[in-house]
């Protein structure tokens, strides 16, 4: 029996109930009805439960999802999705200005850094923090300063903490042969294709058209998969982000943000606005804020004239200061400055966020990204090592941090060869005609879009 992940109504209810608790909606009556009917919790780590619901329970799930969506949120005023309302809440919104120059070499370092961080995190994605630590420590690779390996790991540790089954064949050190396909690289490619077709003045409808043309449904997950489903059902943005989509504040929009920062060097406001138009197809609230934060951080790093701490401050400037995301980032930065041992920082972040959040939610993952970059002072190996050591969405976090730290490093030659050489200047993808493309070519294509005159948004 096919159990397509991230779309089954009976699984979505549990995720929506969790999201309701996070954003202050009183869903207790709905939860009681769901449990009384035999409904279960959301799958803790997988995308689908093992068994399909009965027709009656599935119909109830669909009704309850709509009821939950209609409940008012106590955070609606402090965490808006609309760009004009976000800007109104941000007293330090960056002034618009002409973009600074960015070299193809710096952009290549960003593409490479994104691939390295993603690849480091791939084999341990979905594993609990304890398992990631044991796998690294078993071979003296903790914190991980080289790719994970199964060689030398005791059998009992491997049995208790099996690698990510899809990623291990291509992402363990002994198996790497170029950059394997991953959604964390597919989305920058889609973003590049978006800019090639529509320029930096694209609209959210243009994002939808590119997805429908170029994004295989099986390569989309969580909020993106549901946005595609909603498009095919005839919904239009922004309803595509809201309808029966409990993943709308997860990390998906953040992992699409890099290209918007890369193509607006020195202009974090423009980068954030561009990321907003992209994110609005599939995300709301904190999911959109996370994308805007990442884009602004990356745009600031792309100039090569700011340290990582200034970059993070630029990111916070485009996020409503009273939002959960801004508070989590500020807390993470404080923790990183207060503790010499990053494992202590991670333990505190998990104690705060793990009880309430799914491991793919944008709030804890963005906090971990900020903590790792702060603690490592933007150093490339230190940054990707720390963020992957923190667990949660390891490959996505590694990718974003690798992009920022790659920009700060400034050129491919500045990245340690033991990270970049196994990539063989080649990535695999199912997006368009990019399969097998080199990172140097991608950097030149990105540079072309960064320097192309930008019309007003459509």
- In a domain, residue 168? The reply is no
3-state class of 188 per DSSP? helix
Whether residue 63 is found in the same domain as residue 208? no
Please answer whether residues 350 and 391 qualify as being in contact, where contact means their C-beta atoms are separated by less than 8 angstroms. Answer: yes
Whether residue 258 is found in the same domain as residue 326? yes
Whether residue 13 is found in the same domain as residue 115? no
Domain holding 425: CATH number?
A: 1.10.4080.10
Please answer whether residues 259 and 191 qualify as being in contact, where contact means their C-beta atoms are separated by less than 8 angstroms. Answer: yes
Cα 157 from Cα 350, distance rounded (Å): 22
pLDDT number for residue 3: 81
Number of domains, the chain = 2
Whether residue 32 is found in the same domain as residue 102? no
Q: How many CB atoms lie within 10 A of CB 242?
A: 18
Cα 102 from Cα 130, distance rounded (Å): 40
Cα 189 from Cα 296, distance rounded (Å): 19
pLDDT number for residue 1: 58
How confident is the prediction along the chain (458 residues), in pLDDT tens digits per residue? 578 899 999 999 999 999 999 999 999 999 999 999 999 999 888 888 888 899 999 999 999 999 999 999 999 999 999 999 999 999 999 998 777 899 999 999 999 999 999 999 999 999 999 999 999 999 999 999 999 999 999 999 999 999 998 999 999 999 999 999 999 999 999 999 999 999 999 999 999 999 999 999 899 999 999 999 999 999 999 999 999 999 999 999 999 999 999 999 999 999 999 999 999 999 999 999 999 999 999 999 999 999 999 999 999 999 999 999 999 999 999 999 999 999 999 999 999 999 999 999 999 999 999 999 999 999 999 999 999 999 999 999 999 999 999 999 999 999 999 999 999 999 999 998 999 999 999 999 999 999 998 765 44
Whether residue 102 is found in the same domain as residue 66? no
- In a domain, residue 363? The reply is yes
Residue 262's domain comprises 94-119+180-451
Whether residue 106 is found in the same domain as residue 24? no
- In a domain, residue 344? The reply is yes
Q: Name the one residue in this structure whose structure tokens are 């200005």.
A: 97
pLDDT number for residue 235: 98
Cα 456 from Cα 4, distance rounded (Å): 40
């Amino acid at each position: 029996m096919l159990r397509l992940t991230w779309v089954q109504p009976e699984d979505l209810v549990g995720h929506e109930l969790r999201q309701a608790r996070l954003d202050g909606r009183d869903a207790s009556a709905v939860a009681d009805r769901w449990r009384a009917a035999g409904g279960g919790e959301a799958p803790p780590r997988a995308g689908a439960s093992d068994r399909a619901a009965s027709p009656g329970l599935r119909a109830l799930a669909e009704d309850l999802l709509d009821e939950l969506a209609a409940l008012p949120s106590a955070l609606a005023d402090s965490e808006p999705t609309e760009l004009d309302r976000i800007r109104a809440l941000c007293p330090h919104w960056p002034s618009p200005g002409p973009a600074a120059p960015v070299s193809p070499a710096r952009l290549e370092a960003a593409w490479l850094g994104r691939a390295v961080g993603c690849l480091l995190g791939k084999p341990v994605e979905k594993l609990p923090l304890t398992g990631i630590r044991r796998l690294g420590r078993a071979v003296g690779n903790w914190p991980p300063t080289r790719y994970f390996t199964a060689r030398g790991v005791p059998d009992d540790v491997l049995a208790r903490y099996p690698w990510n089954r899809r990623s291990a064949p291509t992402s363990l050190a002994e198996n790497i042969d170029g950059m394997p396909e991953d959604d964390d690289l597919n989305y920058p490619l889609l973003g590049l294709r978006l800019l090639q077709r529509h320029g930096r003045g694209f609209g959210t409808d243009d994002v939808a058209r590119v997805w429908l043309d170029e994004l295989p449904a099986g390569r989309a997950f969580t909020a993106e998969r549901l946005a595609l489903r909603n498009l095919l059902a005839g919904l239009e943005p922004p309803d595509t982000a809201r309808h029966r989509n409990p993943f709308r504040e997860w990390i998906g929009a953040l992992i699409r943000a890099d290209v918007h920062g890369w193509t607006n060097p020195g202009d974090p406001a423009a980068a954030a606005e561009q990321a907003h138009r992209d994110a609005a197809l599939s995300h709301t609230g904190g999911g959109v804020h996370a994308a805007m934060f990442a884009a602004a951080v990356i745009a600031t790093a792309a100039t090569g004239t700011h340290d990582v701490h200034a970059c993070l401050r630029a990111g916070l400037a485009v996020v409503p200061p009273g939002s959960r995301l801004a508070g989590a980032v500020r807390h993470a930065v404080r923790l990183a400055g207060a503790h010499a041992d990053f494992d202590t920082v991670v333990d505190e972040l998990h104690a705060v966020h793990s009880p309430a959040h799914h491991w793919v939610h944008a709030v804890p993952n963005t906090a971990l990204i900020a903590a790792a970059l702060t603690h490592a002072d933007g150093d490339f190996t230190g940054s990707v090592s720390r963020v992957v050591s923190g667990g949660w969405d390891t490959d996505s976090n590694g990718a974003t941090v690798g992009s920022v730290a790659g920009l700060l490093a400034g050129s491919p030659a500045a990245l340690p060869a033991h990270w970049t050489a196994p990539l063989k200047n080649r990535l695999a993808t199912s997006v368009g005609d990019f399969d097998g493309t080199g990172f140097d070519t991608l950097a030149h294509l990105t540079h072309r879009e960064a320097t192309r005159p930008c019309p007003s948004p459509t």
